[in-house]
Amino acid sequence: MSDHTDERETFHHDPIGHAEARAGMTVGELADSYGEAGIGASDIHEAVDIYSEMLDDDVTTFFGLAGAMVPTGMRAIVSELIRDGHIDVLVTTGANCTHDSIEAIGGKHHHGEVTPEDRTEREHDETLRDEGVDRIYNVYLPQEHFALFENHLRDEVFSTLEEEGPVSIQRMTEELGRANSEVNDREDVPEDAGVLAAAYENDVPVYCPAFQDSVLGLQAWMYSQTSEFTVDALADMTQITDIAYEADSAGAMVVGGGVPKNYVLQTMLVSPDAYDYAVQLTMDPSNTGGLSGATLEEARSWGKLEKDARNVSVYADATITLPLVVAAARERIGE
């Protein structure tokens, strides 16, 4: 058999090794072991490597949090990152703001079922509706918590903002974080005050560009029908683009897709520089042309990433990958 090694210009990478899974391994050791393997395992390893660099104090970190990551149990991870100074800008959904606030003031989400053995999924959801329970895949939320949330917004948030005239969405999330923090402490709620409270307490701006698409947005609209409360949807643009413009080095951690992903990435379109680092955790495929699964290489073509930026996309359930990547990266930097 002839040896073509010298003729293969692109065949220069290390051979595949084999990941380990042994008792007593730390998360960081497991992520390092993933680097020996291929496909998604090697992507996780690279995500940890890149995110570790993003946690440097000299990097301004934009964190995009899509979907319903809070009710599915990712709340503490994000709030702890904020409190430890690892998120400089948070962009999220109205759903996450809503569910974060519900837990801050005493509500809880519960483990549930997608389809019980004795009925179809439709029959199951009809029963849940009759019993006043909302379902997010295998997570349940009693509907009475939304009434609690409505009262919280009207008594603690909107009534204060009404006096300020038109407010930005970021100002609204800031006031909601303040209210969450104060009520959580005042009522001695056993659950942590959460993401918005941590952002308020640590001066981290929270942007929620599509907040109308949520119970938070519905409640804001209803309150505005009988009051002077008004939200200026464009007011945040100056603030977030200024942060991007002034950053010496910037990184994007994008969990999920949709509006938070695009809002994080588009901030660089009006800046002289672009992201130096980017990690994307998504389940959406890139070949449909949708933004949620679009590769970060594609974002580079728009000028959202520097040509030499370090980036990786991990295609897997973010409730699995986010804790793993964050824990391994924090282990690597000694936290």
Which alpha helices (H) appear in the chain, and where do they start and end?
A: 27-34, 39-54, 75-83, 94-104, 121-131, 144-152, 159-161, 169-186, 195-201, 215-224, 236-246, 258-266, 296-302, 318-332
Please report, as a single letter, which amino acid is at residue 7: E
- How many angstroms separate the CA atoms of 49 and 83, rounded? 22
Token output for 103: 């837990």
CA atoms within 13 A on the CB side of 264: 36
Please report, as a single letter, which amino acid is at residue 47: A
- Report, as residue numbers or ranges, the catalytic residues: 304
Contact criterion met (CB below 8 Å) for 239 and 168: yes
- How many angstroms separate the CA atoms of 101 and 109, rounded? 12
Look at strands 110-111 and 89-92 and give their pairing. unpaired
Please report, as a single letter, which amino acid is at residue 147: A
Contact criterion met (CB below 8 Å) for 145 and 102: yes
Residue 297's φ and ψ, nearest 5 degrees, are -65, -40
Contact criterion met (CB below 8 Å) for 70 and 103: yes
3-state helix, strand, coil in the chain (%, to 5): 50, 15, 35
List beta partners, residue 142: 133
